[in-house]
């Protein structure tokens, strides 16, 4: 795969350790949910390191000083429903003032094509840094369509965060949206005949919400 400075593989030991627990089929819903949130927070720490700052005046108990705070419009976190919802609280723990939009997509079980059923974004979306999140980047169809939809609404400064990706998905997303910075917790081997990531962790939505 072509390497690009637009794709960041997050190889921090804490992220890798937590992903390994996620993969285990015996990890229950409660722990799974908690880990997805923690990984999202660790990934967010890296993904948000270029947020713009501006100096503001603050009075400390000692004196008045100019000190940096995050500037501009509040961040927009946009989970792809359902599984992306599991990552929202982890990012909100870092940026509690962020706004949250939602994009509803599901993959057709036969064609694996994504179908849109919901889109609500915080305005003015064109002035915000947007973090799209979904734990799984498999064929890349859902991420590509979600970002196309955000761009149609005016979104410009877009980052995509996932926990596990397949090489096909990273390639497809990067080719479709070369301006989007992609953050990947772990790059897995391949997709199987059902377009599931191998070794992966199974169906992320089902494991987060306890459905089957």
Judged by the rule CB under 6 A, the positions of this chain that interact with ligand URA are: 83, 136, 138, 196-197, 200, 203-205
- Single out the catalytic residue among 29, 67, 111, 148: 111
Q: Among this protein's residues, is 206 annotated catalytic?
A: yes
* Distance separating alpha carbons of residues 203 and 207, to the nearest angstrom: 6
Among ligand PRP, ligand URA, none, the one that 197 touches (CB under a kind-dependent 5 to 8 A) is ligand URA
- 47, 149, 2, 196 alpha-carbon torsion, rounded to 10°: 90
Minimum Å gap between C-beta 203 and ligand PRP is 6
Q: How many residues interact with ligand PRP (rule CB under 6 A)? A: 22
CB-based contacts of 188: which residues, under 8 Å, 6+ apart? 164, 165, 166, 197, 198, 199, 200
* Distance separating alpha carbons of residues 61 and 34, to the nearest angstrom: 38
Query: Which of 128, 129, 136 is CA-nearest to residue 86?
Result: 136
Minimum Å gap between C-beta 107 and ligand PRP is 3
Q: Among this protein's residues, is 211 annotated catalytic?
A: no
Minimum Å gap between C-beta 52 and ligand PRP is 29
Among ligand URA, ligand PRP, none, the one that 169 touches (CB under a kind-dependent 5 to 8 A) is ligand PRP
User: DSSP secondary structure string, 19-45?
Assistant: HHHHH-TT--HHHHHHHHHHHHHHHHH
Among 48, 78, 80, 170, binds ligand PRP (CB under 6 A): 80
Among 79, 86, 141, 200, binds ligand PRP (CB under 6 A): 141
Among 32, 37, 205, 207, binds ligand PRP (CB under 6 A): 205
Select 125 or 162, whichever has its Cβ closest to ligand PRP: 162
Kindly give the interhelix angle for 29-47 and 85-94, rounded to the nearest 10 degrees: 50
Q: Among this protein's residues, is 107 annotated catalytic?
A: yes
Q: Does 142 bind ligand PRP (CB under 6 A)?
A: yes
How, if at all, do strands 7-9 and 181-187 pair? parallel
* Distance separating alpha carbons of residues 169 and 138, to the nearest angstrom: 5
Q: Does 185 bind ligand PRP (CB under 6 A)?
A: no
Q: Among this protein's residues, is 82 annotated catalytic?
A: no
Minimum Å gap between C-beta 170 and ligand PRP is 10
Evaluate whether 103 touches 149 at the Cβ level (below 8 Å).
yes
Minimum Å gap between C-beta 29 and ligand URA is 14
Tell me the CA distances in angstroms from 197 to 1, 131, 183, one per residue in order. 17, 22, 17
Supply the residues annotated as catalytic: 107, 111, 203, 206
């Amino acid at each position: 795969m072509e390497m690009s400075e637009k794709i960041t593989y997050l190889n921090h030991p804490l992220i890798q350790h937590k992903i390994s627990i996620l993969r285990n089929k015996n990890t229950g819903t409660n722990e799974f949910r908690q880990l997805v949130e923690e990984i999202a927070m660790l990934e967010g720490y890296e993904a948000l390191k270029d947020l713009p700052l501006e100096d503001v005046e603050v009075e400390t108990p000692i004196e008045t000083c100019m000190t940096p705070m995050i500037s501009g419009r509040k961040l927009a976190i946009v989970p792809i429903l359902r599984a992306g919802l599991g990552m929202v609280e982890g990012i909100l723990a870092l940026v509690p003032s962020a706004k949250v939009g939602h994009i509803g997509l599901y993959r057709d079980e036969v064609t694996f094509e994504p179908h849109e059923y919901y889109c609500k974004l915080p305005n003015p979306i064109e002035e915000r840094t947007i973090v799209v999140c979904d734990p799984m980047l498999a064929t890349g169809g859902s991420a590509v369509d979600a970002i196309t939809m955000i761009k149609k609404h005016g979104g410009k400064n877009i980052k995509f965060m996932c926990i596990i990706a397949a090489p096909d998905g990273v390639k497809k997303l990067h080719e479709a949206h070369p301006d989007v910075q992609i953050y990947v917790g772990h790059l897995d081997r391949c997709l199987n005949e059902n377009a599931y990531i191998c070794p992966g962790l199974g169906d992320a939505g089902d494991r987060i919400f306890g459905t089957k």
